[in-house]
A and B are shown apart, each in its own frame.
Chain A
């Protein structure tokens, strides 16, 4: 089945910095999602982005399906952006959403 890899595993930044999180996937996808896991464990949907570019406030995401990667950009980081960011992908014709291991982002004041 499809494999999903995220990098870096950990990222520590100062408040106000910009960050880029990467997600590589091993096969064609019909679903690519980015989530933020909050301190209580809930997964918050950030983007549904099997291809193209989307923006939502300080966050944006780009998926280049032909090259099998997706990027999540966070600009002007705030301490509330801290947490774990997951990328998940579903291969063409598959039923299962496969998760990467996550990137733990820490924003220091």
Chain B
């Protein structure tokens, strides 16, 4: 079954701890993205990667870090430097190109800082 998986679904963290959110896709997509959504708001881009071993900051990258060692995987680390980490985090992917420019999303991870 092709798709994007995110784990865990819910995550609780104490203040001062780093935490890593997983995102895996088996769609053979080159580009992957991380978004943050706060209650009642739209999505804001944290980081994106167009190819393995390369990634760029989005609009709200401060306090986050990523890696892209494999095409299928794009984990996001929320560090203790992120001041308001409680949010809903969504991972997405797409296969850039004229015929297929559509972006698809995973089910999301809800992070709560206690």
Interface residues of A (CB under 8 A from B): 30-31, 33, 35, 40-43, 45, 48, 50, 86, 88, 90, 95-102
**Cβ B88 vs Cβ A41 within 8 A:** yes
Alpha-carbon gap, A40 to B108, bound state (A)? 9
For B48, B50, B58, B102, the residue with the greatest tally of chain A CB atoms inside 10 Å of its CB is B102
Tell me whether A86 and B107 are in contact (CB under 8 A). Answer: no
**Residues in B lying within 8 Å of A, measured CB to CB:** 31, 33, 35, 37, 41-45, 48, 50, 56, 58-59, 88, 90, 92, 101-108, 110
| A100 CA to B3 CA, complexed, in Å | 24
| Secondary structure class of chain B's binding surface, majority of residues | strand
Are B58 and A99 within 8 A (Cβ)?
no
Tell me which residues across on chain B come within 8 A of A33, comparing CB atoms.
102-103
User: When the two chains form their complex, are residues A96 and B45 in contact, meaning their CB atoms are under 8 A apart?
Assistant: yes
Across-interface contacts of A50 in B (CB, < 8 A): 101
- 25 pairs, A vs B, C-beta closer than 8 Å: A30-B101, A31-B101, A31-B102, A31-B103, A35-B105, A40-B108, A41-B88, A41-B107, A41-B108, A41-B110, A42-B107, A42-B108, A43-B90, A45-B104, A48-B101, A48-B102, A86-B42, A88-B103, A90-B101, A96-B45, A97-B33, A97-B45, A97-B92, A97-B103, A99-B43
Q: Given A95-B48, A95-B50, verify A100-B102 contact (CB < 8 Å).
A: no
Which residue of chain A lies nearest to B41 when distances are taken between CB atoms in the complex?
A101
Contact of A43 among B41, B44, B105, B110 (CB under 8 A): B105
Query: Which residue of chain A has its CB nearest to the CB of B58?
Result: A96
What residue in chain A is nearest B49 (Cβ atoms)? A95
Taken together as a complex, chains A and B put the C-alpha atoms of A42 and B31 apart, in Å, by 19
A35 to B107, CA, bound (A): 13
- 14 more contacts with CB within 8 A, not counting A45-B104, A99-B44, are A40-B108, A42-B106, A42-B107, A43-B90, A45-B105, A50-B101, A88-B103, A90-B101, A95-B56, A96-B45, A96-B58, A97-B45, A98-B45, A99-B43
